[in-house]
């Protein structure tokens, strides 16, 4: 299975102190645990590529941001997913885009 080696660097760093207040949940995806933050999309001025379906997430669309709960550099590994794509992540076997 080919590994998509594309890494996204987001402009705005995630504020962990602020996001720790109940908006972030910890969920399992495959063999790993991920922090999941639901965002409204308001204020997002750009679109993201969803690893689940390889389609863009247009600005303003509510979606989720996930990043590894274990390991270092997790913030740099975060991904933006469509909410339904994340919810269906275990049923969807991608071409390895998440890792």
**Contact set with Zn ion (CB under 5 A):** 50, 52-53, 82, 85
Nearer CB in complex with Zn ion: 14/53 = 53
C-beta closer to Zn ion: residue 16 or 84: 84
Query: With respect to Zn ion, which residue has the nearer C-beta, 66 or 85?
Result: 85
What pairs with residue 82 in β-bridges? 63
Alpha helices in the chain (DSSP H): 16-19, 83-87
Q: Minimum CB separation from Zn ion for residue 57, in Å?
A: 7
Q: Do residues 11 and 43 touch, judged by C-beta distance below 8 A? A: no
């Amino acid at each position: 299975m080919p590994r998509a080696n594309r890494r996204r660097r987001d402009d705005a760093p995630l504020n962990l102190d602020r996001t720790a207040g109940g908006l972030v949940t910890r969920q399992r995806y495959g063999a790993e645990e991920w922090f999941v933050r639901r965002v409204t999309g308001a204020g997002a001025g750009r679109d993201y590529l969803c690893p689940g379906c390889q389609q863009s997430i247009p600005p303003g669309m509510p979606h989720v941001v996930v990043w590894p709960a274990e390991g270092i550099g997790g913030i740099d590994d975060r991904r933006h997913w469509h909410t339904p794509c994340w919810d269906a992540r275990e049923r969807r076997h991608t071409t390895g885009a998440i890792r």
